Structure 1
Amino acid sequence: MEQLTLVYDGACPFCQHYTALLDLRRPGRTVKLLDAREHPQVVADLAARGLNVDDGMVADYQGCTYAGADALHLLALLSTGSSFTDRLICWLFRSPRRARLSYPVLRAVRNGTLKVLGHQPIRPH
């Protein structure tokens, strides 16, 4: 049985919509979506491993951890591409280069949006 755990910022509207748009479920795969703001212990555990969820989403899949652009690329590879939007997102991020180039821009937009909305950065407890 495949296990995918994705830790993302639930206060970020882009992160919320992205996780909702991707079709990651398939027979034989368990998908767990964790809002980092609601799971401080997970954030602390990731921080102890040198990963900051405020720098980007984190995916654990089959015993490996992927962060930021690497997580985005992994999710594109795992998505079923069941809708037009899903296929478009997958096309964009299936290329490791496109994922790496676009991720800093996406993160900057996320950070700016969270600031405008009045949300504090995610801090490990």
Structure 2
Amino acid sequence: MGIGHVQIVYDGQCPLCSSLVRMSRLRLRVDSVELIDARLADPRIEELVAMGYDLDEGMILRCDGQIHHGAAALRMLAELTGKPDLPTRLLRSPQTAGHIYPILRQGRRLLLHLLGRRPFGR
């Protein structure tokens, strides 16, 4: 049974984020995937920020009416891809995703700095 519609809000100026989203095989298990670049003017992004989500702290995945942020979004992304490889299986664990996501977030910050790109809202 497939999942209906999934939205992924990510940093379109971050090569790491873009690669992660492109590499996922969501389209094999999800009926509809909508990729939303958080750097573009979009009322859905404004809504998420107004709800208190900090996009510098993590990507967002909306699925079945629930919002997953940061490590929880990464875990859901791994869950929805259905890939049997070891890295994906490890990321399905909330503990592992919780330990790995801060490293990815710091890598994103460093990469944006090296590329001369600014974090959100600055």
| Residue 23 of structure 1: aligned partner | 25
| Residue 113 of structure 1: aligned partner | 111
1:40–1:112 Cα change, 3 Å: farther
Deviations 1:29-67 (A, max 9, x none): 211011111244332211111101111000110000000
| Residue 87 of structure 1: aligned partner | 85
- The residue type equivalent to 2:116 in the other structure is G
Distance 1:67 1:4 in 2: 13
Query: Which residue, 44, 51, 54 being the options, matches 1:52?
Result: 54
Distance 1:28 1:13 in 2: 24
- The residue type equivalent to 2:115 in the other structure is L
Alignment: residue pair count: 120
Unaligned stretches of 5+ in structure 2?
none
Distance 1:39 1:52 in 2: 16
- TM-score, scaled to structure 2: 0.89
1:45–1:4 Cα change, 3 Å: same
Distance 1:13 1:28 in 2: 24
| 8 Å CA contact 1:68, 1:103 repeated in 2 | yes
| 8 Å CA contact 2:29, 2:82 repeated in 1 | no
Q: Does 1:61 align with 2:63?
A: yes
1:27–1:66 Cα change, 3 Å: closer
The runs of at least 4 consecutive aligned structure 1 residues that moved more than 3 Å come to: none
- The residue type equivalent to 1:55 in the other structure is E
Instruction: Trace 1:5-20 onto structure 2 (pairs within 5 A).
Output: 5-20=7-22
CA RMSD of superposed structures (Å): 1.9
| 8 Å CA contact 1:36, 1:42 repeated in 2 | no
Q: Which has the higher helix share?
A: 1
